[in-house]
Amino acid sequence: MNIAEAKEILAGTFSFTVDDTDRVIQELNLPGDAKILDVGTGVGNLAITLALHGYRVLTGEPADDDSIYAKQEWHANAERVGVDHLIEFKAFDAKDMPFEDDTFDAIFFLGTFHHVEEDFRARVLEECVRTSRAKALICLFEPNQTCLNMIKELDPTHPEGADPTENAGHLPLASRKIEGGMFDAYIFEK
Ligand SMILES: C[S@@+](CC[C@H](N)C(=O)[O-])C[C@H]1O[C@@H](n2cnc3c(N)ncnc32)[C@H](O)[C@@H]1O
């Protein structure tokens, strides 16, 4: 199924994330067999978009997250667009990832990093560096102000967006930013 068809079927939040994430995924042009981690499963928007590109994705969120953003219907959404077989779920906390060193070629976050408490954001990026391979990409999509204004109408308690470069200064990473209509992508390369 192509992205446009999936957008019609899933609608909802998929429609307002997919244009930005799809553009960046195309630009990154990862190899088809890339080992990919998606941090913060939510409703599965990013894992599904990656899977629609043919990638296998490991996705997860903390087992003890009882917020409205966790334990969502990601699997049913993936089934509706025929990519559930490409997505595997494992509960984990990004502050202490249960993965070996040098495991992933790319680690993605969509709307997740600002949900991590500020004091632990540097630690999460350190875990990304540890668990990713040489030359890996770490790509964090964070909501811009237009997107935050929309989200806050539904959830006034929602945290502000984060700029991950503020937590990455001590790490051996090159960074660049791609601005989107709703989500900016902060891309770090090892
Ligand atoms: C708004 S949702 C993300 C949406 C999702 N990425 C998508 O594509 O639909 C925020 C996610 O961050 C996750 N999260 C919050 N703190 C986390 C942590 N320390 N480690 C991993 N995931 C975390 C939540 O459990 C939730 O799944």
Q: List the chain pLDDT tens, one digit each, 190 residues.
A: 999 999 999 999 999 999 999 999 999 999 999 999 999 999 999 999 999 999 999 999 999 999 999 999 999 999 999 999 999 999 999 999 999 999 999 999 999 999 999 999 999 999 999 999 999 999 999 999 999 999 999 899 999 999 999 999 899 999 999 999 999 999 999 9
Residue 104 CA to ligand 1 center (angstroms) comes to 18
Residue 162 CA to ligand 1 center (angstroms) comes to 14
pLDDT value for 43: 98
Q: Is 61 in the pocket of ligand 1 (CB under 6 A)?
A: yes
Q: Is 45 in the pocket of ligand 1 (CB under 6 A)?
A: yes
Q: Is 77 in the pocket of ligand 1 (CB under 6 A)?
A: no
Gyration radius of the chain's alpha carbons: 15
Give the pLDDT confidence of 129-145 residue by residue, as tens digits.
999 999 999 999 999 99
pLDDT value for 161: 94
Give the pLDDT confidence of 109-125 residue by residue, as tens digits.
999 999 999 999 999 99
Which positions ≥6 away from 176 have C-beta within 8 Å? 187
Residue 142 CA to ligand 1 center (angstroms) comes to 12
Closest CA to 168 of 139, 188, 143, 144: 188
pLDDT value for 162: 95
Residue 59 CA to ligand 1 center (angstroms) comes to 10
- Give the Cα separation of 8 and 5 in Å (integer): 5
In this structure, whether the domain defined by 3-189 belongs to CATH 3.40.50.10780 is answered with: no
- Give the Cα separation of 169 and 166 in Å (integer): 7
Q: Is 143 in the pocket of ligand 1 (CB under 6 A)?
A: no
Residue 100 CA to ligand 1 center (angstroms) comes to 21
